[in-house]
Structure 1
Amino acid sequence: MGIARVAVNAGHARICVFRGYLMEYPDVNAPMPETTNSKLADAMGEGDSAAGPGRRDPTVHAARHAIEILRCISQSQPEIGVSDIARRIGLHKSSVSRLVATLQAQRVVERNPHTDRVSLAPGLIAIAAPLINHMGISQASRQRMAQLAEESAETVNLSIWDGREAISIDQTVGPNAITHYAAPGQNNPAHCTASGKVLLAFASEADRSAVLRAPLTRYTERTITEPAVLQRELARVRETGLALNRAEFSEDAGAVAAIVRNVNGQATIALTITVPMYRFSKARERKLLELVGHAARDISGQIGAMTAAGIARRQP
């Protein structure tokens, strides 16, 4: 995974991430590698029919048009057609279609299969995860996550569903010297992680069908790769609101997860405790499932209370 720089409990300023675990590292003064999504830029820049003479960098204009498309969608309730977008931002429909297809591939917009209209997608949350850490869901959950990390002595994560996978949006690192680390915005496969399974179990039928139809990639010997087996697992998760991963995604890590419900009772968030397998006995598994279930219910209540308070403040 490379080297990360984060603050760790006792003031250690530098660590390395090995297979998803934080470990103290003696010297990480070398600059972090920079990455860019060149494929996104290339795809967004191709075929922009609005580009004309004198426009020196079509990729810059394509990026601006993509932002205009996102703003246009965000101002529409709840969906908008490609033709309407093209008319509002002054681009050819074919250019908008290409940009929308690229944004859809990056999971920041989605198309309604019945109407072909476009709406924003949860993948935007992965991009905005650092901001979300200081807002909304995280405000309602952070104190309880810290308490859970202390109770369990393990790292606690909060994730949301993006239609295919779970996306980590917040994290409280556990107190142990060796602990799990998942940066906000990290994707977790639906079929072999605790957060993915608990969110998939409560996802729409269309999302579940799409995951079950796609190849279930094997990551370890314990990964579920048979759709029928996964369906049975998801049925159990729906009954209990709890999911389990014992070295299904990584040989070194296990996890338990519980569903968090919003003010409308919708199952939209996963609360996860991740633990190294050498600390994940059956007795500890039972205890962690109990802890994460209680904490998820508490956070559900806190989200509801914050939402109700916000509505009350907005009322005249």
Structure 2
Amino acid sequence: MPKQSARETVQGTQSIDRALSLLTAFSAERPRQRISDLVSTTGLGQSTVSRMVAAMTSMGFIRHDPLSGLYSLGPEVVDLAGIVLNDHPVHAAARQIAQNLAASLGLGVNVAERSGQHLFYLCNFEGKDAPRNSTLIGRGGPLHATALGKALLIDSDRASLESLLGATFDRYTARTITTVDALHQEMAAVADRGYAIENEELALRRACLAAPIRGRGGDVVAAVSVSGPLSAMNLAEREDFLAMVLIEQADQISTALGYVARAATTA
């Protein structure tokens, strides 16, 4: 079998890098773009972008709207994303539970895992009282300003929090936690309750509760949440009920993943 030359290897790597840069140029904020937009975003030459977009369009990874002239991600990307989700053990264990919970409560129900310094949505279902016009699946979010993020960090000490997130954080509303000391203090309350609360910390007039999901070894591998407008969540009257239901469902997902809770022992 002939050996691949160093030049061929470099050229092949460059082609992959360019193709990936084109795919990742699309985002939730910019789902449709022109060739000129892709040139600006990727820094590639227009002839290169045009050639690669044409090839990727023919393969189904990019879609072209002839009326607007805009390009967007194609069905092959959705197919690959579906393969990833369907092969994910947390998604498999949580999907039906989350869907049923959204239907019974009428609220939004999300499942997410941690990806570096952010959370990553694996499931997203809307109840009748918390409708959305787009899915959160595949999107990220801040750990410090979300109930899901705080549930994912429930076992973290102060040193771990600062190592992961730094000493100060982005502010989204007047209620956002912006320092590691304040987050560490909040995490003590989260650990004591067994669930996290987000009350207008990421977005105004919205609230969320989240509970951790544990894997076979006992580590937190994901979190599940219920969320919606303040009026629908009605935490003043419903927090205890929602938290109880949420923790029960989180435990059910954890059990499906092989987690066995250790019984408390007394001296």
Per the TM superposition, whether the score is higher than 0.5 is: yes
After superposition, residues 34-45 of structure 1 pair within 5 angstroms as none
* Paired residues of 2:213 and 2:223 also in contact (CA < 8 A): yes
Tell me the number of residue pairs that the alignment of Structure 1 and Structure 2 aligns: 195
* Aligned twin of 2:241: 287
Q: What CA RMSD, in Å, does the superposition of the two structures yield over aligned residues?
A: 3.2
Structure 2 residue 11 is matched with structure 1 residue 59: no
* Aligned twin of 1:99: none
* Paired residues of 1:130 and 1:184 also in contact (CA < 8 A): no
CA separation of 1:61 and 1:258: change in aligned 2, threshold 3 A: closer
Alignment partners' CA distance in 2, 1:278 and 1:271:
21
For the residue of structure 2 that corresponds to 1:218, the secondary structure is coil
* Aligned twin of 1:130: 82
For the residue of structure 1 that corresponds to 2:153, the secondary structure is helix
Alignment partners' CA distance in 2, 1:208 and 1:130:
32
Structure 2 residue 234 is matched with structure 1 residue 273: no
Structure 2 residue 95 is matched with structure 1 residue 152: no
1:213 is displaced (CA, Å) by 2.3
What one-letter code is carried by the residue in structure 1 that aligns with 2:251? R
What one-letter code is carried by the residue in structure 1 that aligns with 2:15? V
Unmatched tracts of structure 2, length 5 or more: 1-5, 21-79, 260-267
* Paired residues of 1:201 and 1:208 also in contact (CA < 8 A): no
TM-score by length of structure 1 reads: 0.54
What one-letter code is carried by the residue in structure 2 that aligns with 1:174? G
1:266 is displaced (CA, Å) by 1.4
Q: 1:166 aligns with which of 119, 144, 149?
A: 119
TM-score by length of structure 2 reads: 0.63
What one-letter code is carried by the residue in structure 2 that aligns with 1:131? I
1:184 is displaced (CA, Å) by 1.4
1:179 is displaced (CA, Å) by 4.4
Unmatched tracts of structure 1, length 5 or more: 1-49, 66-127, 306-316
Q: 1:300 aligns with which of 251, 254, 260?
A: 254
* Aligned twin of 1:258: 211
* Paired residues of 2:108 and 2:227 also in contact (CA < 8 A): yes
* Paired residues of 2:111 and 2:222 also in contact (CA < 8 A): yes
1:176 is displaced (CA, Å) by 3.3
Alignment partners' CA distance in 1, 2:145 and 2:81:
23
1:131 is displaced (CA, Å) by 2.8
Residue-by-residue CA offset, 1:6-31 (whole Å, 9 max, x unaligned): xxxxxxxxxxxxxxxxxxxxxxxxxx
CA separation of 1:164 and 1:148: change in aligned 2, threshold 3 A: same
* Paired residues of 2:190 and 2:196 also in contact (CA < 8 A): yes
CA separation of 1:211 and 1:283: change in aligned 2, threshold 3 A: farther
Q: 2:150 aligns with which of 183, 188, 197?
A: 197
1:216 is displaced (CA, Å) by 1.1
What fraction of aligned residue pairs are identical, expressed as a percent?
A: 27
* Aligned twin of 1:184: 137
* Paired residues of 2:176 and 2:202 also in contact (CA < 8 A): yes
* Paired residues of 1:157 and 1:168 also in contact (CA < 8 A): yes
